[in-house]
Structure formats: C-alpha cells, structure tokens
Amino acid sequence: MATQELDLFVIGAGSGGVRAARMAAQSGARVAIADPAPFGGTCVNVGCVPKKLYSIAAHYAESFEESHGYGWTGPAPTLDWATLKANRAREISRLNAIYEGALTGAGATIVRGRAHVVGPHEVEVNGKVHRTRRILVATGAWPVVPQVPGAELAITSNEIFDVPEFPRRLVVVGAGYIACEFASIFRGLGAEVTQLCRGEQILRGFDADVRDFLAEEMRKKGVALRTQVHMKSIAREGGALRITLEDGTTLLADQLLYATGRAPRTAGLGLAEIGVSLSPKGAVIVDERLRSSVDSVYALGDVIDRVHLTPVALAEAMALVDQLYGKDQRRMSYEFVPTAVFTHPSVGTVGLSEHAARERYGDVRIFRSDFKPLKHTLSGSTERTLMKLVVDAASDRVVGLHMVGDEAGEIVQGFAVALKAGATKAIFDATIGIHPTAAEEFVTLREPVA
C-alpha cells in the first residue's frame, strides 16, 4: 500500500540531500528522506571531515620537530592510533545526530533503508511505497577499484580511517586529490608511504606549476612518489601484501589504498527502468535546473558528476529548493568555485589554470612567487610556498589564483570572493597587504613572469 502523497522524496542523506530536504520542509513542503547509512554522506562520515581531522593530526609530528628552532626542547609524543580513531568516531557521531536533528526539526520525515524508484512518482523503501510529487536523487559517488588480480585485498578511502592496525608501510594508488591527501596524511602520521601514479604527474586538471611544485614538496617530506607506473597484481605474503608492477618490480606493504576515482551511485536505484537518462559512467543527466529526462525526477551532487565538492552540492540544493518552493531567484554557477587539497603542504585554487586561461583568452599575464615562508626561517624545514595569479591581458581581470603552502584553503577562500566579483589586477595592486603574512604576496606581485 502506498502512503499519503508527499511533495518531495529525497534519496540520499549526504550534504546535498539533507540541505534540500531541510530547506524544502522549512518552506512548508511535505518531505521524506531515505538513507540506510548514518546521515551526512561521504563528507561527514568518510570524506571531508574525518580527512581534515586526520590531516590536522598528521601535522603535529612535524610541528614538534620544527618547534626546536623556536627554543622548545624535549621528546616528541607518539601517536596512539586507537585514540585518534575513537575521538574521530565520537565527533562523527555528534555530527550525524546534528544532521538528523536538523531534518526532524524542520519537519522532514526520516526513512531508514535503501530506496528504489518504482515509478515517476513512487519510491519503495523496505517494502513500503511512498507516493511523491517529485523525487530528488542525491546518492553521491562511490570509490572505484580497478580489476587487477588480488584487488579484493586493497582498501579504499571508505575503510582507511578505521584499519585495525596503523599501516607502517602504505602504498597509495592514484594521482588525484584523494590519493595525494592520504599519502601526505599517513606520511605525516609516521608511515612509509609510496604513491603510484599511472600518469606523468599528480593532480590532473590543476595548474601545471601547482602540480610540479606540490610533487616536489611531497617528495621532500618523504612520500616516495612514482609516476608512469602500472599495477599488475596484489597478493598476500605472510602478514603483508606483495604488490607487483607491470615493469616487474615489487613492493611490500601493510595496506594498499586504491584512490583511483569515484563513480556515481545509481546502480540498483531503478532510474533507467523509469526512463531516467544516465551517462556511460552512471551519472544522472540533468539540465541547468537539475531536472532529469523524467520531469518529476531531479538530481544533484556527486551523482550528476559535475563538480565533486560538498559546497557545490549544498549550492545546488539551495538553488533547486528555491526553484521548486521559493522565489526562483537562485541560479547555480560553476565558475570560480574554490577548492583546497589537504596535502602537506596544502593547495588552494580558484578560477582557471594557466593552460585553460590561454585556451579561453589567448593573451594572459602570469604572476608567480616561490618563497620560504617566515615560519620556516627558524623551523629548519625546507618547505616552500608557491603563489600564482593568472590575468586576462585584455580586461586585466584576475581569472586564476593558485597557492601551495600552509593554510592555502583558508587564504584562497577570501580571494575567491574577489575573483567572483570580477577583481582586476589593478585592484589587487591597490589593496594593502597584511604584514608579515604569506597572503600579502598575492597583492604585492608586480612583475609578470615570462
């Protein structure tokens, strides 16, 4: 038997789904949201939040070592892996409860279980059919593990936070931001880390200077970064894993982390069966208003495979709810979306890479600085910072801003507002810097590089 008709049934309680359900319910819509997993999705449970917590943890060993240059003495403490895991789990549970409380407080109905779309206006969960005017798919994405012999012995970013024993030898396969982040994190926590990349460099799609600079900094910190290598097989050997590459070389590891990409989670949802068009990768194909090929079905977040970032999913959710239940004034823009990569050192970027800017504008001016930050004049660290501006020569508008260095995300967030507002290089030049900070370098770059 079907329940009383709803206005909106949300499938997936990640950041985007929860935001859409909560805002729609607050507007007076009758809303239900279903998910079998703890609420908060990838970001809260096995993504942004725990990853940033572990990144913070990984900086302490380095900070203790660097403190000697500032007069601090004494032995550095050691990592208790079990304590880190337990404290992280407690914080995630707290956030799960906050997400659920926000939903029920707004008047949304929580449905525990895996949803299956059985019609353009019907969703089945645990044998019960819910009738709804609209359906929103916000099921996110899931790690993909290439099919090599022994792949079942590998873990993904979903499992890495809770491995029983700290992996003293970790091999990370992948070149994207997730692979680079975990390579940096576990190196900082004390593991011997080898990162294997099929391509010629890490972070495909990022600015070339950022990619090269970060790779060198990661190597300086002890990550054994190897490019243009291919996996052949994985096998158990005693208490370790033997990893064989296509060139015949082998590696021994306690854990092998595959971070080679994520695919939209649409398998088994029943979308294709009701006529929803999917991409070859399984992503829901939507128009500029997030509507699928079936008028009553919408989708947002990683499942539409546009920009895999939590704030983008949140923005899409707010735009959709405003469109359906508000004044229809919000529009989703994917230009000048800032992002950070929590490597060591971290990356912050907004706008176009130099290559993309040259393709779009032709004539561009490049401003770049590579320097030792003040902190490391006493710390003994060889870490350096990179800052780069990409300027459209015709309009003088800053169309790309990139940084590799301490707290890059915190710094770039503020500059993202300026780029979104259309700031020119002249405005950057006229802005007074805060001294002494690394951030002031962005407003004191004067001479373009060749």
Long-range pairs for 265-271: beta carbons < 8 A, 24 or more residues apart: 265/12, 265/139, 265/140, 265/141, 265/142, 265/302, 265/303, 266/137, 266/139, 266/303, 268/114, 268/116, 269/11, 269/115, 269/116, 269/117, 269/137, 269/139, 270/116, 270/117, 270/118, 271/117, 271/137, 271/297
The answer to whether the beta carbons of residues 344 and 187 sit under 8 Å apart is: yes
For residue 151, the 8-state DSSP code is G
**Active-site pick, 121, 230, 308, 435:** 435
Tokens found for residue 181: 């982040």
Cβ(188)–Cβ(58) below 8 Å:
yes
Q: Which residues of 84-94 are buried (b: 16+ CB within 10 A; e: fewer)?
A: bbeebeeebee
**Catalytic site includes residue 435:** yes
**Dihedral sign, Cα of residue 48, residue 54, residue 56, residue 58:** negative
* Cα Rg, the chain, nearest whole Å: 24
Helix spans in 9-122 (H): 15-26, 41-46, 48-66, 81-106
Strands (E), 202-274: 224-226, 231-237, 240-245, 250-253, 255-258, 262-264
Q: Which residues are catalytic?
A: 435
